[in-house]
């Protein structure tokens, strides 16, 4: 065995110890970014989960705090959200202290229902609401409430999106006090239905910053059935009127087959839908509440249920993606979701190679941002970028194919990692004239590939040597020209 492992990232959040999956309760409050997360405080496996807690002032350096919410006899504490109840509509605050209210799924043996907890000390200590659960449907798969304030024509109210996971449906509920909820509409089943729907989010964005062009974004995580295999996050654009989400590009309605299962969907069909990320490791992504104005910032779990439970990391297991500032832009008459990675500012920019069609090799540290500028010089031909680790083992292959305008990511199998870790995925990346710009953010054992000015994203964990995070980048431009610069994290050595 070559003893490949997943190295602990430096600037992506990982818990000090034990299991982590989805981000929960993302909220900006009192100048801090609070990140709660699905966490088993007692073990390296999913086991019995509650909410862990970390916070940050810059989304890059995180302080882990005491566990916020723990499982008890009523069930586990599954995913959910946090809002600042500024007017204390819930009555869970105390004089002069409007509460932060967490809305989460109480996952009991046979029923999942929505429950509340409140904090009046800024999100550090939480008290479960004695009236839990506040919303029941007698369902075993009703979960992942995301709540936001909505300013309607008839005054403000709270909106909750949550899923009936097995039914591939998003449920919209409304409330004035966070305690009593009325179902106002449903979305789905439609589009990708190859797995359970989980962790929805719904929020408005402006198109190219134009305050008069507001489009709502519905995120639906599904597992399996994602475009990269296993867990993935589907994106739907549309309008929301306080009751109903109406997609701008309606997708084919789906129904269960007579045996209760769902139609198999091919990779080609999945590729026709919108996805947050075309890589295998961005799941359950949701956005922060409490941000000013149009800012929308997302964090996802950098994992995939296909193999997350078998990753050989100790004493921690699970990482978050970088925070990403979301936007919408119009390109050639089509709306595109844009993601701007919030990463460390590089101390030094190094030109690794100027634009040329020669092949070359370069040393890279474990934490580095690499800018790849491709100039297409022919209608066909492939640019090849390979990344080997310090042991000389191939950990990543990126291929840009000019004829197909597609970017492929190949992650080979690695000894010591589960077989399902091997992935071969692709996404359309249209050139801008004759240019294709890729930004690769490496943080030890992960890469986030951003293309087309943030309109494309591919996130992948990478295998690596347990003892040495340095890597080698191999560039073969084929008939095209490639320039590469590297920008090293503040506390790392130059390449
Ligand atoms: C998504 C998910 C959620 C659930 C949580 C349990 O990864 O399955 O639907 O609330 O994880 O940990």
Reported as a single tens digit per residue, the pLDDT across 292-344 is 777 899 999 999 999 999 999 999 999 999 999 999 999 989 999 999 999 99
Q: Using DSSP bridges, classify how beta strands 232-240 and 245-247 pair: parallel, antiparallel or unpaired.
A: antiparallel
Q: For residue 42, with 0-12 CB atoms within 10 Å meaning exposed, 13-18 middle and 19 or more buried, which class applies?
A: middle
Q: What is the mean pLDDT of residues 382-401?
A: 96
pLDDT given for residue 294 in this prediction:
72
Counting residues of the chain whose pLDDT is more than 90, the rounded percentage is: 94
Task: Specify the pLDDT at position 493.
Answer: 44
192 CA to centre of ligand 1 in angstroms: 18
**What is the reported pLDDT for 292?**
73
Nearest CA to ligand 1 atom 6: 78
Please check the confidence at residue 140 and state whether its pLDDT lies above 60: yes
DSSP structure class, residue 225: -
270 falls in which pLDDT band (50, 70, 90)?
very high
Question: Is the CB–ligand 1 distance for residue 196 below 6 Å?
Answer: no
The mean of the pLDDT values for the chain is 96
- Residue 309 CA: distances (Å) to CA of 298, 303, 312, 417: 24, 10, 9, 11
* Distance from residue 80's CA to the centre of ligand 1 (Å): 9
Q: Tell me how far apart the alpha carbons of residues 481 and 232 are, in angstroms, rounded to a whole number.
A: 33
Q: How far is the C-alpha of 34 from the C-alpha of 63, rounded, in Å?
A: 10
CA–centroid distance, residue 5 to ligand 1 (Å): 25
- Is the distance from the beta carbon of residue 78 to the nearest atom of ligand 1 less than 6 Å? yes
Does the Cβ of 374 fall within 6 Å of ligand 1?
no
Domain 18-314 annotated CATH 2.115.10.20: yes
Residue 187 in tokens: 């979305």
Question: Coil, strand, or helix at residue 94?
Answer: strand
Task: Please pick, among 22, 88, 201, 492, the residue that the annotation labels catalytic.
Answer: 22
User: Range(s) for CATH 2.115.10.20 in the chain?
Assistant: 18-314
Query: For the whole model, what pTM was predicted?
Result: 0.97
Q: Residue 348: what pLDDT?
A: 79
Tens-digit pLDDT profile for residues 44-101: 999 999 999 999 999 999 999 999 999 999 999 999 999 999 999 999 998 889 999 9
Which range is least confidently modeled, 152-166, 186-200, 444-458, 479-493?
479-493
pLDDT at 495: 39
Residue 33 pLDDT > 70: yes
Instruction: Give the residue, out of 199, 282, 285, 301, with the most ligand 1 atoms within 8 A of its beta carbon, to mutate for a pocket test.
Output: 199
Q: Could you tell which of 78, 102, 234 is best to mutate to test the pocket of ligand 1, judged by most ligand atoms within 8 Å of the CB?
A: 78
Neighbours of 180 (CB within 10 A): 11
Query: 495: helix, coil or strand?
Result: coil
pLDDT at 95: 84
pLDDT digits (tens, 9 = 90+) for 343-359: 998 767 899 999 999 99
Q: 281 CB less than 6 Å from ligand 1?
A: no
Nearest in space to 114 (alpha carbons), one of 168, 162, 156, 151: 162
Strand partners, 295: none
Give the CATH number of domain 348-488.
2.60.120.560
Contacts of 260 (CB under 8 A, 6+ apart): none
Give the confidence band of 391 by pLDDT, cuts at 50, 70, 90: confident
* CA-angle at 59, arms to 55 and 65, nearest 5°: 15
Share of the chain above pLDDT 70, in %: 98
Phi then psi for 374, rounded to 5 degrees? -100, 130
Q: Where in the chain is CATH 2.60.120.560?
A: 348-488
pLDDT digits (tens, 9 = 90+) for 147-179: 999 998 889 999 999 999 999 999 999 999 999
Is it the case that residue 115 has pLDDT exceeding 80?
yes
Q: How far apart are CA 55 and CA 394, in angstroms?
A: 35
Q: What is the C-alpha separation between 222 and 233, in angstroms, rounded?
A: 6
Residue 22: active-site member: yes
Distance (angstroms) between ligand 1 centre and the Cα of 22 equals 7
pLDDT tens digits, 422-450: 999 999 999 999 999 999 999 999 999 99
pLDDT of 131 over the 70 cut: yes
């Amino acid at each position: 065995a070559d003893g490949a492992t997943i190295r602990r990232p430096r600037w992506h959040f990982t818990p000090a110890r034990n299991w982590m999956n989805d981000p929960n309760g993302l909220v900006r409050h009192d100048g801090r970014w609070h990140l709660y997360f699905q966490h088993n405080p007692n073990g390296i496996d999913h086991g019995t989960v509650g909410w862990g807690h970390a916070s940050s002032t810059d989304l890059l350096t995180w302080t882990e705090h005491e566990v916020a919410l723990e499982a008890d006899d009523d069930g586990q504490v599954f995913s959910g959200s946090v809002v600042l109840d500024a007017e204390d509509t819930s009555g869970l605050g105390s004089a002069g202290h409007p509460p932060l209210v967490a809305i989460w799924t109480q996952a009991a043996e046979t029923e999942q229902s929505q429950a509340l907890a409140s904090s009046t000390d800024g999100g550090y200590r939480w008290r479960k609401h004695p009236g839990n659960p506040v919303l029941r449907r007698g369902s075993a798969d009703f979960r992942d409430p995301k709540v936001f304030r909505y300013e309607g024509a008839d005054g403000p109210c709270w909106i909750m999106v949550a899923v009936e996971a097995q039914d591939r449906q998003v449920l919209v509920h409304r409330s004035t006090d966070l305690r009593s909820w009325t179902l106002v509409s449903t979305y789905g089943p439609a589009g990708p239905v190859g797995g359970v729907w989980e962790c929805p989010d719904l929020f408005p964005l402006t198109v190219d910053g134009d305050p008069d062009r507001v489009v709502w974004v519905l995120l639906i995580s599904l597992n399996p059935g994602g475009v990269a295999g296993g867990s993935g996050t589907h994106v739907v654009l549309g309008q929301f009127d306080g009751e109903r989400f109406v997609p701008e590009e309606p997708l084919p309605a789906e129904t269960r087959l007579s045996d209760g299962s769902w139609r198999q969907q091919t990779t080609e069909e999945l590729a026709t839908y919108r996805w947050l990320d075309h890589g295998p490791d961005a799941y359950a992504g949701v956005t922060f509440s409490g941000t000013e104005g149009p800012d929308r910032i997302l964090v996802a779990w950098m994992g995939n249920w296909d193999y997350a439970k078998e990753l050989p990391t100790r004493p921690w297991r699970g990482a978050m993606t970088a925070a990403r500032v979301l936007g919408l832009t119009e390109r050639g008459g089509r709306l595109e979701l844009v993601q701007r990675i919030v990463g460390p500012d590089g101390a030094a920019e190094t030109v690794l190679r100027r634009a040329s069609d020669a092949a070359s090799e370069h040393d890279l540290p474990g934490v580095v941002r690499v800018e790849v500028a491709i100039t297409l010089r022919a209608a066909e031909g492939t640019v090849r970028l390979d990344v080997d680790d310090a042991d000389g083992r191939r950990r990543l292959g990126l291929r840009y194919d000019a004829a197909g305008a597609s970017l492929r990511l190949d992650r080979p199998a690695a000894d010591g990692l589960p077989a399902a870790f091997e992935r071969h995925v692709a996404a359309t990346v249209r050139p801008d004239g004759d240019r294709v710009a890729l930004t690769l953010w490496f943080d030890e054992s992960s890469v986030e590939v951003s293309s087309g000015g943030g309109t494309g994203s591919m996130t992948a964990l990478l295998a690596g040597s347990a003892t040495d995070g340095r890597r080698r980048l191999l560039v073969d431009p084929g008939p095209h020209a490639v320039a590469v610069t590297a920008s090293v994290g503040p506390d790392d050595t130059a390449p």
